[in-house]
Amino acid sequence: MTCCSARSSEEEQTVHVSVLLSLSSIEVLNELVYFAKDEDAVLATMNHLALTKSINRLSTAFGFKPKTTPEPFNVENELKRVLANKESTTLFHSWCEAFHCAENVRFWIDVETVRMQPSSEKFERIYSEYLTPSSEYAINVDSSIIKDCEQKKPWSSNSFDEVQHQVFLLMASCSATRFLNSDVYKNYLNGEKERRSPKSRLFRRKNKSTTIVAPRDNVEALFRLRNTL
């Protein structure tokens, strides 16, 4: 047999085996006996096909979905999810207050709000409250970024974007990392899962894992604007 004919024969068998999954068990057996000469290869292929067909049929019957590789945990992406939801933002805000590190999340929220509802008075308040070193809520960002922001006067709705981005990265590297691994946040996630479950919607039992925190005016204002604009 020439090299060309051998390759053609192998390709023919490969193509043929690829369609065997669509056949019944008897058809598979007949096809394998006809095309394969090696008895061990026949048995190995039959076992593989039988197992694959059984798994596929069981998965379909019981509604199982194939396992997918979980998305790697990313603090920045998770923090974005937190700040996109009013309840989790309020929880994060309260957690930061308890650990005396709320200036960053306060600044981030205020910049988000003023972007949607700009005014020169609000720009001045943000600068004096967060970017002045002597302020109670002064944020810890590089002085060059603050100088760049000062040079953008008169300020507009996107004048504080670079500072806000740096503050977001600061939260992701420190406070958010601890918050996302805290029991407070884990309990919140468990409560969210239970509230979304059909059983919870039917019985409405009190959920002991639900974390209840007092609303924050700045968070309420932010999400009120998001819902109206």
The pLDDT score that the predictor gives to residue 88 is 96
Q: What is the pLDDT of residues 28-80, one digit of tens each?
A: 555 555 555 556 665 666 666 666 666 566 556 656 665 566 567 799 999 99
* Whether residue 4 has pLDDT greater than 60: no
Q: Which residues of 96-135 are buried (b: 16+ CB within 10 A; e: fewer)?
A: beeeebbbbbbbbbbbbbbbeeeeeebbeebbebbbeeee
* Amino acid at site 30: N
Mean pLDDT (the chain, rounded): 79
Domain 75-228: give its CATH superfamily: Regulator of G-protein Signalling 4, domain 2 (1.10.167.10)
Distance (Å, rounded) from C-alpha 95 to C-alpha 91?
A: 6
Taking CA atoms, 60 is separated from 18, 27, 54, 64, 142, in Å, by: 20, 22, 10, 7, 57
Domains of the chain by residue range:
3-62, 75-228
Q: Is 114 left (phi over 0), alpha (psi -120 to 50) or beta?
A: alpha
**Residue with token string 């998001």:** 226
Top-confidence residue, 57 or 132: 132
Distance (Å, rounded) from C-alpha 124 to C-alpha 115?
A: 13
Q: What is the pLDDT of residues 158-201, one digit of tens each?
A: 999 999 999 999 999 999 999 999 999 999 999 887 776 655 44
DSSP letter string over 62-131?
A: HT-----PPPPP-HHHHHHHHHTSHHHHHHHHHHHHHTT--HHHHHHHHHHHHHHS--HHHHHHHIIIII
